[in-house]
Amino acid sequence: MRTKISELAKRLRNREISAVELTKAYIGAIEKLNPTLNAYVHLTFDTALNAAEQADQRLKEGDAPLLCGIPMALKDNICTDGLNTTCCSKILKGFKPYYDATVWEKLKAHGAVLLGKTNMDEFAMGSTSETSCYGAPLNPRNTNYVTGGSSGGSAAAVCANLAVYSLGSDTGGSIRQPASFCGVVGLKPTYGAVSRYGLIAYGSSLDQIGPMTNSVKDAAIVFDAIKGGDRRDQTSVDYDYGSSLAECLDRDVKGMRIGVAEEFFDGINPEIKSKIEEAIKLFERNGAVIENIRLPALKLALPVYYIIACAEASSNLGRYDGIRYGYRTSSYTSIEDMIVKTRSEGFGDEVKRRIMLGTYVLSSGYYDAYYKKACLIREEINREFDAVF
Amino acid sequence: MSISKTEIEKLAKLAKLSFSDEELERFTAEFDEIIAFADTINQSIEGGTEEIRNVGARMVSFDDLRADEVMPSLPNEKILSNVEGYNGFFSVERSKK
């Protein structure tokens, strides 16, 4: 049975279950199901049990935050001090960061219990999680299906109740799409809402960390715990939301204006379309004002994303040189040879493809036609959004 | 437009990657498809402005940045914990005698 955060928090406070017992139940479930589902690629049970003991102490003292003692998971591209963080890539196999990502620092302060790191497409490049060097996770709803990606392991872990909630990262759909495939809730927060310090970079002008949960309310609770400006991520901001997102959910929708863009329905599955239309009607019945809007530049969003993300990735992944991160080729004749061999052996095909495209669109002669053009169209998409708001 | 094997080799050099002959064949063929997809950005946008804003228009001014602060660094031994370090340095085998 999948349980909501607020429900578990209540049981922990009523002493119906201890954090250690709860953690042990999740460890048991992971031991039973993970060999098949492959949702987790690194397990951190010892750390989890220690954290659960401390959580029980805090719960006893009575000052514990809502997330205290709740077992959860992190995508394998979010840095955890001293614990494996490998982006599911051979080039980072065995890599243990020496600092915590801000999101993990924040959740730890809330008393979160980390069960392990979840499977993903290598360097978050993919939409099925099949490019993972550990093999793909399976969709718990039907193991013949993929989980989606790149945060496929995070989605599968929540779906199969191998974690109460997880964090994923989203550059071009990597939280929202696997959440949809596995039937869980995924939120890509607005760019700048959550610090990416300690998130291994893919496309820095697009990357965001966000929650994957069993309910919208849970997503809001986790978002509230991880949001906020951070001096270590220059793009993050301290925005005044007026109240917590969890509280916002209890507000009335009466008079709220909701724009429905025609472009969102291009080529959509009819079953999904009818579900969305039902939801629109539900909002309308409750007093929301529905306005049909147009965002014509959106039809170019996918190639624009692909060009910009690959360009940034080709630069971000330049750091894997065989010197600083562990994996290094076994024999080489020069520094250049060592770097080239390490990268060619360490990166998978999809990563190489994107680095190559990124290099292409940034190279002289093609820069204006691809990278610059994509940036200009992104501005146009921005302008269209600004115009409707 | 079709990309040549020589161009792919040049790109690979820039990207610090190498490909076997078989991989090179495969990548060259795939690359045409990828570029064809990237080329779809050349479609016109309904109602789109002719001269789109300059990318540089959103430059961050130095006044918007916080002042530099001196903070403690991570200790050497932590940074070297993933590699075989040498006297507090990253080590690379000598390749030129």
Tell me the longest C-alpha to C-alpha distance in chain B: 64
Give residue-wise pLDDT tens across range A251-302: 999 999 999 999 999 999 999 999 999 999 999 999 999 999 999 999 999 9
What share of chain A has pLDDT > 70, as a percent?
100
| Residues A72, A52 contacting (CB under 8 angstroms) | no
Distance from CA of A333 to the nearest CA of B (A): 6
Strands B89-90 and A257-261 turn out to be unpaired
Whether the CA torsion A331, A337, A339, A340 is positive or negative: it is: negative
Residues of A158-192 as b/e, b for ≥16 C-beta within 10 angstroms?
bbbbbbbbbbbbbbbbbbbbbbebbebbbbbbeeb
Taking residue A1's Cβ as centre, other Cβ atoms within 10 Å add up to 3
Chain A residues with CB-CB distance to B52 below 8 A: 376-377, 379-380
Nearest CA in chain B to A333: B95
In the annotation, is A75 catalytic? yes
Cα B54 to the center of its chain, rounded Å: 23
Tokens matching residue A173: 């759909």
* CB–CB contacts below 8 A, A to B: 122
| Residues A230, A236 contacting (CB under 8 angstroms) | yes
Residue A351 identity (one-letter amino acid): V
Helix (H, G, I), strand (E, B) or coil at A51: helix
Phi-psi region of A11 (alpha: psi -120 to 50; beta: other; left: phi over 0): alpha
Q: Which of B27, B65, B82 sits opposite A96 (nearest CB)?
A: B82
Which residues of chain A from 195 to 254 reach within 8 Å of chain B, CB to CB?
Answer: 231, 234
Point out which residues pair with A73 in neighbouring strands.
A116, A166
B31 and A333 within 8 Å at the Cβ level: the answer is: no
Helix (H, G, I), strand (E, B) or coil at A208: strand
DSSP A104: H
Residue A85 has what pLDDT?
Answer: 98
Taking residue A323's Cβ as centre, other Cβ atoms within 10 Å add up to 16
> Which parts of A38-146 fold into alpha helices (H)?
45-61, 102-109
What span, in angstroms and rounded, lies between the C-alpha atoms of A342 and A320? 8
> Of the listed A18, A127, A129, A150, which one is catalytic?
A150
Distance from CA of A98 to the nearest CA of B (A): 6
Whether the CA torsion A374, A204, A136, B25 is positive or negative: it is: positive
Tokens matching residue B85: 């370090």
| Residues A211, A200 contacting (CB under 8 angstroms) | no
| Residues A19, A12 contacting (CB under 8 angstroms) | yes
| ipTM reported for the complex, 2 dp | 0.90
What span, in angstroms and rounded, lies between the C-alpha atoms of A215 and A124? 24
Exposed/middle/buried for B61, CB within 10 Å: 0-12, 13-18, 19+? exposed
What share of chain A has pLDDT > 90, as a percent?
94
Residue B50 has what pLDDT?
Answer: 52
Query: Which of these, B38, B78, B93, B90, lies nearest to A307 by C-alpha position?
Result: B38
Query: Which of these, A380, A122, A355, A367, lies nearest to B34 by C-alpha position?
Result: A355
Lowest mean pLDDT among A74-78, A196-200, A275-279, A384-388: A384-388
Q: Greater confidence, A331 or B48?
A: A331
> Which parts of A62-175 fold into alpha helices (H)?
102-109, 152-159
| Residues A73, A34 contacting (CB under 8 angstroms) | no
Lowest mean pLDDT among A342-356, B37-51, B75-89: B37-51
Cα A356 to the center of its chain, rounded Å: 25
What span, in angstroms and rounded, lies between the C-alpha atoms of A155 and A149? 9
DSSP A172: S
Residue B64 has what pLDDT?
Answer: 79
pTM: 0.95
In the annotation, is A150 catalytic? yes
Q: Quick check: A1 pLDDT over 70? A: no
Residue B87 has what pLDDT?
Answer: 87
| Residues A384, A298 contacting (CB under 8 angstroms) | yes
Where in chain B are the domains? 5-42
In the annotation, is A195 catalytic? no
A303 and B41 within 8 Å at the Cβ level: the answer is: yes
Overall average pLDDT of the A64-74 stretch: 98
Exposed/middle/buried for A307, CB within 10 Å: 0-12, 13-18, 19+? buried
Q: Residue A146: which pLDDT band, with cuts at 50, 70 and 90?
A: very high
Helix (H, G, I), strand (E, B) or coil at A75: strand
R_g of chain A, CA atoms, integer Å: 21
Give residue-wise pLDDT tens across range B21-58: 999 999 999 999 999 999 999 888 776 655 555 544 45
Beta-strand (E) ranges in A127-262?
Answer: 165-170, 185-186, 208-213, 257-261
Residue B68 has what pLDDT?
Answer: 86
Asked if B5 has any chain A CB less than 8 Å from its own CB, the reply is no
Q: Which residue is listed with tokens 């990502």?
A: A101
Residues in chain B, overall count: 97
Give residue-wise pLDDT tens across range A21-34: 999 999 999 999 99
